[in-house]
């Protein structure tokens, strides 16, 4: 599988003012700190981690909605970070985004047809009304909305349907890559399944590449080909789905997987959960060395001193841990 | 054993500008001491409103009718002062968002001590002692320092621990937990669920766990009631509901979830359609529109919640025929 997107050593640091009025200093908040990976054509890459791990920032930095502090984002060999705004704007028809909250990401004063028409006009202002309408109808039925609903407004739709509209808006330009930022987290279970099925169908039919950002490991397991685990802005582990879920190597991945409750009373009660102590450290003052060491059951003095390098094992399994073999 | 709480034909409705919205209809359920009952349903199914209504905590435009018998007393007939004596003392509630449930301008210690001085008439010194005990069982580090801090200095998981501690200081007979772990990250959720597990072993209080997460229910509850559009559609012991769900909605719910422990390389069995609008509920079964096996009777006549066996109830016409 050839990579369409290559992310190299991506860093996003936000300057944060701390201290009082007189002695304020600026400290960088390292939301994403040196993350590298690639995404193949037609591949779905899951990005998982807890709140504050930098997964949403990563998605936005790839699309240049947040300017990365350092590193490269190569889209078909071209570094997006170097592009002038106008050149980047033209690239956007290939690269789209779906947000978590479906209702707030749709303009309440535009009808569904107008919402979906906006990217069409932005990409090609000369598009004829008839052609635009035809593309809108096509994409609406593709995502499971009746074309008769085209003149309705977002508030007339339920959450699941709003997410379909957001997906239609992202899909109408026939993009090659969509970054989905928690697209089903705000939805109820029975509706969530419908949207997951839709994403899966679109991804297969159109050969789309997806970056699927989620905190829900069960959904990621169902949808993604490969999975990347982030913690405090750093990559902990990246592997094929089956390898990751069958045999997670990083202590954080292991804890994350064991923390998910299984909807089966016998299994859930029999399992010995690996419970991490404490909370996520503040990203303003991340621990030295390995960022996970304060909660890691395997932490050693080496973890305090040295940042673990990313090791690439057979099958492309990547891991950043000093002690994964112990 | 006498039930600690009995909901008897409870109705909760809200007067809105667009007419009356019925959030909970004709709901009957009883909870025996020491058991943990899971209330499962999607948003709008009425799972939270049922217990807010029972505790007299509805929004101003809401009314609850029916009977809510708590240790022999009908809570719906009590005035606010009488309710305040019971709430927080013999029955306590934990809310989803601990951030907004704590008073922002009061030290954590004072908030916890206040519960005991108000309800139990403890001196501050005695109350503090008891608070320390409970905080310790919540595995909160550096308790002494923590007591002098304000809620914003606590992380989400720590705040939820404080909420649980606050609910437990008076040793309630009934603890209602409304989505206690939904706002938390999975690893923190695992810590809190572990506390609940210890709590279940060590206290005699009955626990009602309101949640949309069937995984949480599987780990903690003894009995489960599944709600849909304001009604209980199925009620059963926890092992039965997962092994052999009877109501088509419960079956659909279990089938449509992707699972971490199983790999399904196909489409999920999604339930088609969406929950009905509570403002104009259908005359028949509320789930009929989304049910693959629904017949004319389902659309016209509402199924009653019937007993299937001594411990199981379900509301479905199709089960009757079978």
For residues B78 and A190, the model is more confident at B78
Q: Is A280 on the interface with B (CB under 8 A)?
A: yes
Whether A80 and A120 map to the same domain: the answer is no
- Which of B217, B258, B274 lies at the smallest CB-CB distance from A158? B274
DSSP string of A135-185? HHHHHHHHTT--GGGGG--GGGS-HHHHHHHHHHHHHTT--SEEEEESTTT
Report the alpha-carbon distance of residue A63 to residue A65 in Å, rounded: 5
Asked whether residue A60 falls in the same domain as residue A193, the answer is yes
**Interchain pair A262, B191: CB under 8 A:** no
Same domain, A191 and A243: yes
Examine residue A292 and state whether it is found in any structural domain, yes or no. no
Residues A186 and A253 in one domain: yes
Q: Which residues contact A77 (CB under 8 A, 6 or more apart)?
A: none
CATH number, domain with residue A28: 3.40.50.300
Pair (A159, A45) in one structural domain: no
Whether A48 and A183 map to the same domain: the answer is: yes
Asked whether residue A12 falls in the same domain as residue A159, the answer is no
Nearest chain A CA: its distance from B10 CA (Å)? 25
Interchain pair B42, A268: CB under 8 A: no
Q: Which domain holds residue A29?
A: 3-94+175-280
Per-residue model confidence as pLDDT tens for chain A (326 residues):
589 999 999 999 999 888 788 888 888 999 999 999 999 999 999 999 988 899 999 999 999 999 999 999 999 999 999 999 999 999 999 999 999 888 889 999 999 999 999 999 999 999 999 999 999 999 999 999 998 899 999 999 888 899 999 999 999 999 999 999 999 988 888 889 999 999 999 999 999 999 999 999 999 999 999 999 999 999 999 999 999 999 999 999 999 999 999 999 999 998 887 888 888 888 888 999 999 999 999 999 999 999 999 999 988 999 999 999 98
In a domain, A120, yes or no: yes
A55 lies in some domain: yes
Same domain for A44 and A179, yes or no, is yes
Cβ pair A215:B264 closer than 8 A: no
The Cα of B217 is separated from the nearest Cα of chain A by a number of Å equal to 7
Q: How far apart are CA A28 and CA B29, in angstroms?
A: 54
Asked whether the beta carbons of residue A279 and residue B188 sit closer than 8 angstroms, the reply is yes
Check whether residue A187 and residue A216 sit in a common domain: yes
A25 touches B at CB < 8 Å: no
C-alpha pair distances (Å), B85 with each of A69, A280, A302: 57, 38, 56
- Measured CA angle at B9 (ends B7, B14), to 5 deg: 95
- Cβ burial, residue B57 (10 Å; 0-12/13-18/19+): middle
CA separation for the pair A237, A87 (Å, rounded): 34
Query: Is A207 within the bounds of a domain?
Result: yes
Close Cβ partners of B19 (under 8 Å, ≥ 6 residues apart):
B279
- Note whether A194 and A267 are same-domain residues: yes
A60 and A15 share one domain: yes
**Domain count for chain A:** 2
- Whether residue A300 lies inside any domain: the answer is no
Break chain B into its structural domains and give their ranges: 250-322
Q: Which of A268, A273, A277 to mutate to test the interface with B (most CBs of B within 10 A)?
A: A268
Q: Nearest CA to CA, how far is A124 from chain B (Å)?
A: 35
Residue A323: inside a domain: no
Q: Do A258 and B190 touch (CB under 8 A)?
A: yes
Q: Do B271 and A193 touch (CB under 8 A)?
A: yes
Which residue in B has a C-alpha nearest to residue A277's C-alpha? B191
Q: Name the token pair of B93.
A: 């509630």
Are A189 and B212 inside 8 Å of each other by CB? yes
pLDDT of residue B321: 67
The residue among A241, A262, A280 that closes a domain is A280
Which tokens sit at B145?
């320092």
**Structure confidence by residue, pLDDT tens digits, A59-102:** 999 999 999 999 999 999 999 999 999 999 999 999 999 998 88
Q: How far apart are the first and last CA of chain A?
A: 33
């Amino acid at each position: 599988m050839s990579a369409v997107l290559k992310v190299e050593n991506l860093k996003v640091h936000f300057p944060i003012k701390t201290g009082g009025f007189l002695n304020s200093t600026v400290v960088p908040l390292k939301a994403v700190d040196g993350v590298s990976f690639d995404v193949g054509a037609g591949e779905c890459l899951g990005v998982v981690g807890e709140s504050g791990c930098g997964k949403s920032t990563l998605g936005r930095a790839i699309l240049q909605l947040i300017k990365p502090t350092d590193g490269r984002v190569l889209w078909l060999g071209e570094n997006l970070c170097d592009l002038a705004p106008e050149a980047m704007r033209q690239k956007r028809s290939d690269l789209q985004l779906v947000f978590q909250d479906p209702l707030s990401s749709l303009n309440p004063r535009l009808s569904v047809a107008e919402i979906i028409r906006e990217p069409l006009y932005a990409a090609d202002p000369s598009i004829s009304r008839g052609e635009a309408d035809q593309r809108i109808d096509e994409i609406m039925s593709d995502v499971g909305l009746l074309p008769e609903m085209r003149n309705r407004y977002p508030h007339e739709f339920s959450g699941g349907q709003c997410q379909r509209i957001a997906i239609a808006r992202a899909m109408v330009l026939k993009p090659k890559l969509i970054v989905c930022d928690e697209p089903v987290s705000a939805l109820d279970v029975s509706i969530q399944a419908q949207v997951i099925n839709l994403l899966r169908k679109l991804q297969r039919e159109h050969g789309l590449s997806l970056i699927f950002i989620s905190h829900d490991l069960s959904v990621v397991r169902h949808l993604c080909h490969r999975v990347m685990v982030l913690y405090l802005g750093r990559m902990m582990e990246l592997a094929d789905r089956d390898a990751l879920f069958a045999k997670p190597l990083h202590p954080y991945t292991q804890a994350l997987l064991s923390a998910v409750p299984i909807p089966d009373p016998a299994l859930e009660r029999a399992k010995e959960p690996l419970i991490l102590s404490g909370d996520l450290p503040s990203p303003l003052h991340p621990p030295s060395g390995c960022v996970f060491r304060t909660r890691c059951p395997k932490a050693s003095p080496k973890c305090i001193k040295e940042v673990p390098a990313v090791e690439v094992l057979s099958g492309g399994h990547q891991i950043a841990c000093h002690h994964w073999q112990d | 054993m006498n039930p600690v709480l009995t909901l008897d034909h409870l109705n909760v409705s809200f007067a809105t500008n667009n007419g009356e919205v019925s959030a909970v209809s004709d709901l009957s359920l009883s909870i025996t001491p020491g058991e943990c009952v899971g209330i499962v349903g999607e948003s709008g199914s009425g799972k939270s409103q049922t217990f807010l209504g029972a505790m007299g905590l509805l929004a101003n435009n809401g009314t609850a009718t029916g009977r809510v018998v708590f240790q022999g007393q009908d809570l719906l007939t009590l005035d606010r002062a009488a309710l305040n004596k019971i709430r927080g003392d013999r029955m306590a509630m934990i809310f989803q968002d601990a951030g907004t449930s704590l008073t922002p301008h009061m030290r954590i210690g004072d908030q916890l001590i206040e519960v005991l001085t108000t309800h139990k008439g403890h001196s501050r010194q005695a109350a503090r002692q008891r608070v320390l005990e409970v905080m310790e069982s919540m595995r909160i580090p550096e308790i002494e320092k923590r007591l002098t801090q304000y809620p914003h200095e606590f992380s989400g998981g720590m705040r939820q621990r404080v909420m649980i501690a606050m609910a437990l200081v008076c040793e309630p007979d009934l603890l209602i937990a409304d989505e206690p772990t939904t706002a938390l990250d999975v690893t923190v959720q695992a810590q809190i669920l572990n506390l609940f597990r210890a709590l279940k072993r060590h206290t005699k209080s009955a626990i009602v766990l309101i949640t949309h997460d069937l995984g949480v229910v599987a780990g903690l509850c003894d009995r489960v009631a599944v709600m849909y559009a304001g009604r209980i559609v199925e009620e059963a012991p926890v092992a039965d509901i997962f092994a052999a769900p009877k109501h088509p909605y419960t079956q659909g719910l279990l089938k449509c979830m992707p699972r971490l422990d199983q790999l399904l390389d196909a489409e999920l069995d999604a339930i088609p359609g969406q929950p009905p609008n509570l403002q104009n509920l259908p005359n028949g079964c509320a789930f009929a529109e989304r049910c693959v096996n629904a017949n004319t009777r389902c659309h016209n006549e509402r199924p009653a919640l019937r007993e299937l066996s001594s411990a199981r109830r379900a509301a479905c016409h199709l089960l009757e025929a079978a």
